[in-house]
Amino acid sequence: DLPARVRIHEVGARDGLQNEKAVVPTEVKAEFIHRLAASGLTTVEATSFVHPKWVPQLADAEDLFPRLADIGGVALPVLVPNERGLDRALALGARRIAVFGSATETFAARNLNRTVDESLAMFEPVVARAKADKVHVRGYLSMCFGDPWEGPVPVHQVVRVAKALMDLGCDELSLGDTIGVATPGHVQTLLSELNEEGVRTDTIGVHFHDTYGQALSNTLAALQHGVTTVDASAGGLGGCPYAKSATGNLATEDLVWMLEGLGIETGVDLDALTATSVWLAEQLGRPSPSRTVRALSVR
């Protein structure tokens, strides 16, 4: 059975813009996020409080986040790798954070300058302090299916780190197919294994990149398994600066088109969202890679 409603966790302003070669002006980011919220998205990831040298595209987080204060009723999570990032986010009143771990050692080293276990130790006080403050915590887990340096990633390796993130106290887990190599059978195998190990499906979201064109099929496989939180990025923006071969995320418009066809509610106004992606593509100077954006905007 498919769910009646899906919550879309919009990541375009973070996962999308972190990967742009050009630095997008802060006022454009602020307008982008306002427009995403106005299109009916209820969770719009805003930015990252990471080291500005590691992700220069998001170095304006202190300037951007206060510009979003007038957005009511929409969750605006931010990425936080360590206590320094948490201090920065809490100082601006952030109420939702995300830590981001890796299922593989190579990516943990490249993305966080830590081993997998060292990064979990780095997250521990972050999650503990956030929970004490009643701040909602998402735990991202990258390289759940394949890793560009290590190849296919064994399911048990993913399950170990997923459980460790939940044991730290994360409220939800997002399973990242960082480089977009997952296929639907692999998705269902991982979800079943996580359930068997006690990670509940209602705490799991899926985060697919569309490198091999499998993101929608993978999403449908996850929905059939009972998942109701799906990450996507407006216009299919995205990638990861520390993972070669990662292309854009599943495009939010492609996701909404499929969900509407299945009679699944999202609350998103597809025309308003498409117009936003067309507008942003003009700002970036190149067309959106989303098939749905192209189909709906060439009329």
Enzyme catalytic residues:
240
Backbone angles phi, psi at 147, to 5 degrees: -130, 135
Q: What's CA 72's distance to the chain center, in Å?
A: 21
Cβ 183 to ligand HMG shortest distance, Å: 16
Which residue, among 263, 31, 46, 254, has the nearest Cα to 138 in the 3D structure? Answer: 46
The item of Mg ion, ligand HMG, none sharing an interface with residue 142, based on CB under 5 to 8 Å by kind, is ligand HMG
15 interacts with Mg ion by CB under 5 A: yes
Shortest distance, position 284 Cβ to ligand HMG, whole Å: 18
Determine if 16 is a binding residue for ligand HMG (CB under 6 A).
no
Minimum distance between the CB of residue 275 and ligand HMG, rounded to whole angstroms?
25
Q: Among ligand HMG, Mg ion, none, what does residue 43 contact (CB within 5–8 Å per kind)?
A: none
Query: Which listed residue (55, 68, 153, 270) binds ligand HMG by CB under 6 A?
Result: 55
The answer to whether residue 29 forms part of the interface with ligand HMG (CB under 6 A) is no
Name the residue nearer to ligand HMG (CB basis): 17 or 30: 17
DSSP 23: P
Among 59, 97, 230, 240, the residue binding ligand HMG under the rule CB under 6 A is 240
Q: How far is CA 4 from CA 31, 217, 229, 262, 287, in A?
A: 31, 18, 12, 9, 32
Q: Which residues are CB-neighbours of 93 under 8 A, at least 6 positions away?
A: 69
- Contact call for residue 129 and ligand HMG (CB under 6 A): no
Q: What are the φ/ψ torsions at residue 49 (nearest 5 degrees)?
A: -100, 65
Q: Distance between CA 280 and CA 43 in Å, rounded?
A: 19
Q: Single out the residue of 43, 47, 104, 111 in contact with ligand HMG (rule: CB under 6 A).
A: 111
Query: Does residue 50 belong to the site contacting ligand HMG (CB under 6 A)?
Result: yes
Question: Angle at which helices 105-112 and 116-132 pack, to 10 degrees?
Answer: 60
Sheet bearing 7-10, strands edge to edge? 43-44, 7-10, 229-232, 204-208, 172-177, 136-142, 96-102, 78-79, 47-48
Task: By CB under 6 A, name the binding residues for ligand HMG.
Answer: 15, 18, 48-51, 54-55, 79, 81-82, 84-85, 88, 100, 111-113, 140, 142, 176, 178, 207, 240, 242
